C-alpha cells in the first residue's frame, strides 16, 4: 500500500512541477504586436481543430463504452471469467472512459502550453540561443510531465479502486484508442498543410519557408501543434500506461490470468492478495522514481550562444543521461526496500540500456552531425529520385540496430525474470519519459517560433537560432519515436502473453497450425494496410490543399507581390475537414480487425495476428520514422548553407524528399506502435468471447 501511495504522490508531483514550469513560461515576454497576432491565429486554429476532433472521437468512445458494458461487464454471452467487482457495475467500460479522457487531456494540456510558448520562444531567440532553448524546452517538459503524471495517477487509482487487471486493461484500451485517432488525425492535418505549403511555396513559387504570402503557412504552424504535440502526447501517454498495465497484468496473473514464473511458482495467491503484491506495485514505483528523476534532469539542460548541433545534442543528453542514472539508483533502492529479487533491478537496467541504444542509433541516422544524413544530402545533387532512394534505403538499414537491441533485451529480460521481466523492461525503458518526451515536444514549439520570426520579418539571426533548435527537434523527435517503437514491442509481447493466458493453456500459437499461420499473415498485413490508408489520406488531403493554395496565388490580386492578403482560415478549415474525414477508417480498423479475426478464425488465429503485427509493424515503423527524419534533416543541412543553400537544385530535391518523408515520420510511422498495442489490448479485453 505504501508503494502505491508513493506512486500517486509522484504523479501529483509531476503535475505540480508542470504547473510551475507553465507559470514560468507564461511570464516570458511575447514580443511585438505582429508576433502576438500570428500566435493568436495559430491558437485559434489549433483549438478549433482539437474541438472538432474530440467531438468526432466522442461518438466512437460512446459506441465502444456500450459494447464493453454489454459484452464484457454485463457479459450477455456468459463467457467472461469471474472478477472481484460486481457485474452490475460497468467497471471495464468506465475504465475505458477514464483512459480515453486522460489521453485526450494530456494532448489538450500539451497543446495549450505549446501554442503559448511558440511566440515566447521567438522573443527569447532575440536575446540568445540558450534563452530560446530554455523556454521551448520548459514547454516540452510540461508536456512530458503531464503525460507521466496523469498516466501514473490514472493507472494507480484504477488499480486501487478496482483491483482487477482485466478492468485495468480497459483503461489502456481507452488510452490506445484516443492515441490512434489523435495521432492519425493530427498527422493527416499537419502533413497535408506542410506539403501544401512546401510544394507550392518553396518549389513552385520559390518563396521562403513560413513566408506570410503563403496561404498554407498558418495551417502548417497549426499542424505542428495538433499533430506533433497533441497527437504525440496522446501517443506517448498510451505507450507509458500500456507498459505499466502489461506488467501489472502479468504480476496479477495467478488469479487473473493463471500465469506462473519460469520456475513454475505462482506469482501470488488470490486477487485480493495481489492488490498490493510487491510485483504489482514495483512497476508503479519505478515509474514514480522516473518522474522524480525526470524533474531533476530538466535542470541539467543548458547550452552556449554559439552552440553547434553536437553541442545542442549533448545539452539534451545531459538531462536524459542524468535522469537515467537517477532511475538506476532509485530502482536499486526500491528493490532493496521491497526485498524482491535483484534480477528485477537488472531487468530495469536492460530496459534503460535498450532504450538508450535505440535513441543513440536513431540520432546517428537522423542528425546531420553524422555521415548518414550528410551522405543523403549529397544525393540531392542528382535530383529527387536519388534522394528518395537514398532516404528509403537509409531507413531500412536503420532498423538493424534497434531490432537487434530489442531482441537482445528480450533475451536478457526473459532469462532474468521470464515474461514479467520483458514487461518490466518496457517500464524501465519509459521510466524517464518525463524528460525524453520533453526533448521531443519542444521541437514543434521551436518550429512554430521560426515561422513566427519569418512572418514577423525579424532579424535573420533570430530565424537561424530557431532553425538550429528545430533541426535538433527533428532528431529528438525521431529518438522519441524510437523509444515508443521499442517499448511497443516489449509491451505488445507482454500483452500477448496475458492474452494467451486469458484464452487458456489449451490454445497454442503453433505456426504449423493453419489458424495461427493465417492469423500471422493477416497480422503482418495490418501495418501495411494501415500505413496505406494513413498515407493515402495525407495524399488526398494535401492534393486539396495544394490546389487551394495555387488558386489563391492565382486569384487573389497582389498576393505574390505582398500587397494582397491570403485567406489563411480557408486553408485551416480545408485541412481540418480533410483530416477528420480521413482518420475514421484507420482508427476503426485497429479495433475491428482483432475482433473479426478472433470471432471468425478463433483465438489461435488472433494470437497469430498479434505475432505477425509485432514483427512486421516494428520494422516498418522504424524504417518510416527514420527515413522521414533523415530526409527532413538533409533539407535542413542544405538550408544551413551547404550544397548551394536555399533555392538551389539540391535544395529543391531535398524539399521533395522531405515532402515524401512527412507522412512517413509524422503520420503512418508513429501510429504503428499504437496499432500494435491497441490490437493486443483489444485481444486481451475481448479474448474470452472467442472461446
Model confidence pLDDT, tens digit, residues 103-144: 999 989 988 999 999 999 999 988 888 888 889 889 999 999
- Domains in the chain: boundaries: 176-690
Helix (H, G, I), strand (E, B) or coil at 260: strand
Give the pLDDT of residue 379: 94
pLDDT over 60 at 263, yes or no: no
- On the question of pLDDT at 266 being above 50, the answer is no
Cβ–Cβ < 8 Å for 439, 476: yes
pLDDT bucket at 481, cuts 50 / 70 / 90: confident
Q: State pLDDT tens for residues 638-680.
A: 988 888 888 888 998 998 998 899 889 888 888 898 899 899 9
Please name every residue paired with 266 in a beta bridge, in sequence order, or none if there are none.
260
Q: Which residue has the higher pLDDT, 381 or 501?
A: 381
Q: What is the pLDDT of residues 543-580, one digit of tens each?
A: 888 888 889 888 888 888 877 888 888 888 888 888 88
Helix (H, G, I), strand (E, B) or coil at 666: helix
| Rg, C-alpha atoms of the chain | 24
With H, G, I as helix, E, B as strand and everything else as coil, classify residue 22.
helix
Give the model confidence (pLDDT) of 433-473 as tens digits. 899 888 888 888 888 888 888 888 888 888 888 888 877 77
Flag whether pLDDT at 370 surpasses 90. no
The confidence band for 532, taking pLDDT boundaries of 50, 70 and 90, is very high
**Alpha-carbon span 490 to 427, nearest angstrom:** 9
328-354 confidence digits (pLDDT tens): 999 999 999 888 889 999 999 999 999
**Are residues 613 and 676 in contact, defined by beta-carbon separation less than 8 angstroms?**
yes
Mean pLDDT computed over every residue of the chain? 86
Q: Which of 617, 448, 447, 445 is nearest to 530 (CA)?
A: 617
How confident is the model over 514-534, as a mean pLDDT? 93
pLDDT band at 308 (very low <50, low <70, confident <90, very high): low
pLDDT of residue 504: 67
pLDDT band of 262, cuts 50, 70, 90:
very low
pLDDT tens digit sequence for 137-149: 899 999 999 999 9
Q: Taking 70 as the threshold, does the pLDDT of residue 280 lie above it?
A: yes
Q: pLDDT grade, residue 304 (50/70/90)?
A: low
| 444 close to 400: Cβ distance less than 8 angstroms | no
pLDDT above 70 covers what percent of the chain? 94
Pairwise CA distance, residues 324 & 429, whole Å: 9
At 397-440, the pLDDT tens digits run: 999 999 999 999 999 999 998 888 988 998 998 899 899 888 88
Q: Worst-scoring range by mean pLDDT, 290-304, 491-505, 570-584, 651-665?
A: 491-505
Q: Is the pLDDT of residue 325 over 80?
A: yes
Q: Is the pLDDT confidence value at 273 over 60? A: no
What's the sign of the alpha-carbon dihedral 505, 511, 517, 523?
positive
pLDDT digits (tens, 9 = 90+) for 10-43: 999 999 999 999 999 999 999 889 899 888 888 8
Which ranges in 126-164 belong to alpha helices (H)?
Answer: 129-162
Pick from 266, 275, 97: nearest CA to 172:
97
* Distance between CA atoms of residues 215 and 190, nearest Å: 14
What pLDDT, in 10s, does the model give residues 189-214? 888 888 888 788 777 878 877 788 88
pLDDT band at 170 (very low <50, low <70, confident <90, very high): very high
- Residue 614 is predicted with a pLDDT of 92
- Summary count for the chain: helices (H), strands (E): 23, 0
The reported pLDDT for the residue numbered 41 is 87
Residues 594-607 have pLDDT tens digits of: 999 999 999 999 99
Asked if pLDDT for residue 53 goes beyond 60, the answer is yes
**Concatenated DSSP letters of 54-119:** HHHHHHHHHHHHHHHIIIIIS-TTS-SPP-SS-TTS-HHHHHHHHHHHHHHHHHHHHHHHHHHHHH
- The helix, strand and coil proportions of the chain, stated in percent and rounded to the nearest 5, come to 85, 0, 15
- What ranges in 456-583 are assigned the alpha helix state H? 460-502, 514-555, 568-582
Q: What is the pTM of this model?
A: 0.88
- Give the H or E element holding residue 558: none
Amino acid at each position: 500500500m505504501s508503494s502505491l501511495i508513493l506512486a500517486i504522490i509522484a504523479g501529483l508531483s509531476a503535475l505540480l512541477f508542470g504547473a510551475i514550469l507553465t507559470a514560468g513560461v507564461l511570464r516570458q515576454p511575447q514580443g511585438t504586436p505582429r508576433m502576438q497576432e500570428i500566435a493568436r491565429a495559430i491558437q485559434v486554429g489549433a483549438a478549433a481543430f482539437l474541438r472538432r476532433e474530440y467531438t468526432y472521437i466522442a461518438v466512437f468512445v460512446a459506441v465502444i463504452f456500450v459494447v464493453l458494458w454489454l459484452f464484457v461487464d454485463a457479459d450477455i454471452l456468459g463467457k467472461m471469467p469471474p472478477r472481484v467487482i460486481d457485474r452490475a457495475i460497468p467497471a471495464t467500460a468506465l475504465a475505458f472512459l477514464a483512459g480515453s479522457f486522460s489521453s485526450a487531456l494530456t494532448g489538450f494540456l500539451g497543446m495549450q502550453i505549446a501554442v503559448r510558448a511558440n511566440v515566447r520562444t521567438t522573443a527569447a531567440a532575440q536575446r540568445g540561443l540558450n534563452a530560446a532553448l530554455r523556454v521551448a524546452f520548459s514547454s516540452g517538459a510540461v508536456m512530458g510531465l503531464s503525460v507521466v503524471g496523469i498516466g501514473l495517477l490514472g493507472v494507480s487509482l484504477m488499480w486501487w479502486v478496482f483491483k482487477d487487471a482485466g478492468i485495468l486493461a480497459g483503461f489502456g484500451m481507452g488510452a490506445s484508442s484516443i492515441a490512434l485517432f489523435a495521432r492519425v488525425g493530427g498527422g493527416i492535418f499537419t502533413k497535408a498543410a506542410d506539403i501544401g505549403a512546401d510544394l507550392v511555396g518553396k518549389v513552385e513559387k520559390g518563396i521562403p519557408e513560413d513566408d506570410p504570402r503563403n496561404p498554407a503557412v498558418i495551417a502548417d504552424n497549426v499542424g505542428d501543434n495538433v499533430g506533433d504535440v497533441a497527437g504525440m502526447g496522446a501517443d506517448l501517454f498510451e505507450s507509458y500506461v500500456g507498459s505499466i498495465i502489461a506488467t501489472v497484468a502479468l504480476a496479477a496473473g495467478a488469479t487473473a490470468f493463471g500465469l506462473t514464473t519460469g520456475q513454475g511458482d505462482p506469482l501470488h495467491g488470490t486477487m485480493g492478495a495481489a492488490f498490493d503484491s510487491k510485483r504489482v506495485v514495483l512497476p508503479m514505483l519505478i515509474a514514480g522514481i522516473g518522474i522524480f528523476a525526470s524533474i531533476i534532469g530538466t535542470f541539467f539542460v543548458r547550452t552556449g550562444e554559439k552552440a553547434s548541433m553536437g553541442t545542442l545534442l549533448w545539452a539534451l543528453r545531459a538531462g536524459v543521461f542524468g535522469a537515467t542514472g537517477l532511475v538506476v539508483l532509485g530502482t536499486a533502492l526500491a528493490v532493496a526496500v521491497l526485498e524482491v529479487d535483484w534480477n528485477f533491478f537488472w531487468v530495469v537496467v536492460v530496459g534503460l540500456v535498450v532504450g538508450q541504444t535505440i535513441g543513440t542509433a536513431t540520432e546517428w541516422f537522423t542528425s546531420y552531425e553524422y555521415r548518414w544524413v550528410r551522405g543523403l544530402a549529397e544525393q540531392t545533387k542528382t535530383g529527387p529520385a536519388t534522394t528518395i532512394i537514398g532516404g528509403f534505403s537509409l531507413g531500412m538499414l536503420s532498423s538493424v540496430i534497434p531490432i537487434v537491441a530489442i531482441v537482445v533485451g528480450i533475451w536478457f529480460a526473459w532469462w532474468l525474470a521470464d515474461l514479467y521481466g520483458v514487461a518490466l523492461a518496457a517500464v524501465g525503458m519509459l521510466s524517464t519519459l518525463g524528460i525524453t518526451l520533453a526533448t521531443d515536444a519542444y521541437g514543434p514549439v521551436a518550429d512554430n517560433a521560426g515561422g513566427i520570426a519569418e512572418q514577423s520579418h525579424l532579424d535573420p539571426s533570430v530565424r537561424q537560432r530557431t532553425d538550429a533548435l528545430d533541426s535538433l527537434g527533428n532528431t529528438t523527435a525521431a529518438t522519441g519515436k524510437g523509444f515508443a517503437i521499442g517499448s511497443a514491442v516489449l509491451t505488445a509481447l507482454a500483452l500477448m502473453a496475458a492474452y494467451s493466458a486469458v484464452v487458456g493453456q489449451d490454445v497454442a500459437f503453433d505456426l504449423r497450425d493453419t489458424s495461427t499461420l493465417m492469423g500471422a499473415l493477416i497480422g503482418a498485413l495490418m501495418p501495411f494496410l494501415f500505413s496505406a490508408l494513413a498515407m493515402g489520406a495525407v495524399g488526398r488531403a494535401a492534393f486539396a490543399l495544394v490546389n487551394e493554395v495555387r488558386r489563391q496565388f492565382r486569384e487573389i490580386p497582389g498576393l505574390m507581390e505582398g500587397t494582397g492578403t491570403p485567406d489563411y482560415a480557408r486553408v485551416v478549415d480545408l485541412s481540418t475537414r480533410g483530416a477528420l474525414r480521413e482518420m475514421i477508417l484507420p482508427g476503426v480498423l485497429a479495433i475491428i480487425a482483432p475482433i473479426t479475426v478472433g470471432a471468425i478464425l478463433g483465438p489461435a488465429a488472433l494470437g497469430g495476428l498479434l505475432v505477425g503485427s509485432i514483427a512486421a509493424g516494428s520494422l516498418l515503423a522504424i524504417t518510416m520514422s527514420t527515413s522521414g527524419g533523415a530526409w527532413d534533416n538533409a533539407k535542413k543541412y542544405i538550408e544551413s548553407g551547404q550544397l548551394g543553400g536555399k533555392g538551389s537544385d539540391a535544395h529543391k530535391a531535398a524539399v521533395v524528399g522531405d515532402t515524401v518523408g512527412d507522412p512517413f515520420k509524422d503520420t503512418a510511422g508513429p501510429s504503428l506502435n499504437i496499432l500494435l498495442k491497441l490490437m493486443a489490448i483489444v485481444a486481451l479485453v475481448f479474448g474470452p468471447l472467442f472461446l
